[in-house]
Structure 1
């Protein structure tokens, strides 16, 4: 089967590997030539992922039978709609369905309309004085969000990126002046986790849970990034997520798929739920309309069911079975020094792939070109996979030394100490539970 993959980051390197492992003949379109994907692909076209005409031209040239969309920007542009009009089925939601990620006001309104569990109190404002009055009347800490795509870096929370509600009002006013509207919602205290699922528009099949490390520096300090690493456990839960929590979060995602169908915008593809586990249970923070990056790298190496089979099930509306190995994973992302605010660019890095392989770790390329030159975002991910989290972290850490250059990473991703901190935080937020082993 000839499969087109749109996108060239670390997430797409993992998708491409899983597709080839499933027997696919891979073709790729991305802005830069990802060295990991280049060795997997039969054909590689350089173009902006949002340039739908160019993507279509290459898809026709290669005679692809199916497309798999990696990042969110082409989904927002309606690439799935374009491809399907040309008779090329695609894994990914239509432009309308992708609004779950690309339009936060739509997502919150859908949750309200269909009473989806785990929703938050929110308001969308286009009037500055009305926004200021509402925040004053609300009186509790808030979260301020741009309505569109921000690469995970536009959300600001009182008590974290914002000092108080006065700063929140100033930031919300700035967004209204710039974008015309802003989303303001209640702050939910707890610990975040990621729940990804496959859906054919009706059936919803879960993937192992993962937890991201969004802050740039160790001990969860520094600016928010696209994610400096993540981990998952062999039982597919997380140490602070109970079976009941899991089922409640899963019901939120299943209810979302049902609501999208009732709303006349069936959702087919990968749905990513970013949850906050609060004292009262899981609360949905936001949706993503595709695999997470790095969380795709937690789940795809464990996939036992061929990804091509899953893709066909999504497209045909006949998704039946998805199986994963019972393994733990740890991902550590190496990023250019200065990332995310002022990253080093144009400098080459060195990778001893043979030595990395000897550690047992997997390697995924992201924001580097075919000459291993840094392009400014997260550059290379190493992934440890083992029966236990401790061993997976050891494997990932042992591979780091074989990647050299003007890079930094978070040593604490997946360590017992950092996971223990998250368990303690749940206790501080008043949650009583028995931690899962990992």
Structure 2
């Protein structure tokens, strides 16, 4: 069949890469795509992925049998609703299901209603009550823009001054309309862990664990980013914690199949957890594949992604069977100098071919493009995801950094400690 993937980042390159391996894939389109997807699919640069009618027209014109929605914005905009109404198979929830990510307040109320453990919180639409609550809770404290902010609307403040400044910045428009409502919550303590699940028919089919590195610099220092590196599986998670996270995902999936949800949730549900001394607690739910978690989860999937996504899209939970490789996966993100702040584009990238000659190495493109001379150049904050598989955690980490050393562009920025803390064991978080 012909398949259309919406999105243009590293997540979408990884999804397209996995779909392209299936014998069931005929023509593969990615909108808008990037420099990496261009090598395995048809990039569609001029399609407005947040306009359901435009996507529908393209799908009809190109006989698309499956639409895979990668980013959160088209989901929140209701693109899946438009396509499903016309009978297309869509991987991704409708707008109501996407509110689990599109509104942090809605998500917290969902957790409360279904007995899902999470941090104490309150949401505000006015500055003064928000500041009063910050002073009541004390620091450290977490300030979140309620709406979509490209993964950057979360500020972990270590003192009251920073917390109050974060609240003011939200209401002053730092995150646009996303910050018109502000969620303030207690700061949980412990390691973070992501557990994603395919969800359809009220059932969750959990994937393998992954652990992202949000901070920009080594030692978990600097501002939050969209993610600077990730690995899978997570060695510090014990059996009880894994069972607890799975139970949460199953509970949440079941809840999406009943009121107030009017239509069945079909797509990925992302559970972001904190492994606290009281057990796993949910930091957030997302309504799509994580980025960069997808880049280490899908290379470990030992099953046909087309079969899985179609079963999800068509509401056939009994036809879903997941199998996972025993290998470890480590991803190091190469970013533009200055990210997550201002950065320059157009830097020529060299060495990807040499890096991918290493055993077990795949480079997923995030922010890349071709210039007028057909050279591969940087075109975003996060530029490349260097992924390595290995028979051990250490082997995968070493191989990933060996590949990183082979890739060069002006201003290349990356963390040198991806996975280092977890390799030292759970006591590294004590």
Is 1:388 equivalent to 2:392 in the alignment? yes
Look up the match of 1:318: 316
Look up the match of 1:120: 119
2-structure distance, mates of 1:96, 1:382:
34
Q: Secondary structure at the match of 2:417?
A: coil
Distance 1:360 1:167, change over 3 A: closer
Deviation at 1:359, TM superposition (A): 4.2
Deviation at 1:103, TM superposition (A): 0.5
2-structure distance, mates of 1:206, 1:394:
28
Distance 1:389 1:12, change over 3 A: same
Q: TM-score, normalised by structure 2?
A: 0.91
Asked if structure 1 preserves the Cα contact closer than 8 Å seen for 2:355 and 2:407, the reply is: no
2-structure distance, mates of 1:214, 1:138:
24
Q: 2:164 aligns with which of 165, 169, 173?
A: 169
Q: TM-score, normalised by structure 1?
A: 0.89
Deviation at 1:174, TM superposition (A): 4.0
Asked if structure 2 preserves the Cα contact closer than 8 Å seen for 1:125 and 1:183, the reply is: yes
1-structure distance, mates of 2:274, 2:285:
12
1:9-158 to 2 correspondences below 5 Å: 9-23=9-23, 24-31=25-32, 33-42=33-42, 44-116=44-116, 118-139=117-138, 141-158=140-157
Asked if structure 2 preserves the Cα contact closer than 8 Å seen for 1:29 and 1:47, the reply is: no
Deviation at 1:212, TM superposition (A): 0.7
2-structure distance, mates of 1:46, 1:350:
27
Is 1:358 equivalent to 2:358 in the alignment? yes
Q: Secondary structure at the match of 1:80?
A: helix
Q: 2:379 aligns with which of 356, 372, 375?
A: 375
Look up the match of 1:270: 268
Look up the match of 1:436: none
Look up the match of 1:419: 422
Q: Secondary structure at the match of 1:284?
A: strand
2-structure distance, mates of 1:85, 1:183:
33
2-structure distance, mates of 1:43, 1:184:
40
Q: Secondary structure at the match of 2:377?
A: coil
2-structure distance, mates of 1:281, 1:204:
20
Is 1:295 equivalent to 2:293 in the alignment? yes
Q: C-alpha root-mean-square deviation of aligned residues, in Å?
A: 1.9
Deviation at 1:104, TM superposition (A): 0.4
2-structure distance, mates of 1:29, 1:385:
25
Look up the match of 1:240: 236
Asked if structure 1 preserves the Cα contact closer than 8 Å seen for 2:37 and 2:43, the reply is: no
Asked if structure 1 preserves the Cα contact closer than 8 Å seen for 2:422 and 2:428, the reply is: no
Deviation at 1:8, TM superposition (A): 1.6
2-structure distance, mates of 1:134, 1:241:
33
Q: Secondary structure at the match of 1:209?
A: coil
Distance 1:135 1:403, change over 3 A: closer
Unaligned runs of 5+ in 1: 429-438
Deviation at 1:173, TM superposition (A): 4.1
Asked if structure 1 preserves the Cα contact closer than 8 Å seen for 2:355 and 2:404, the reply is: no
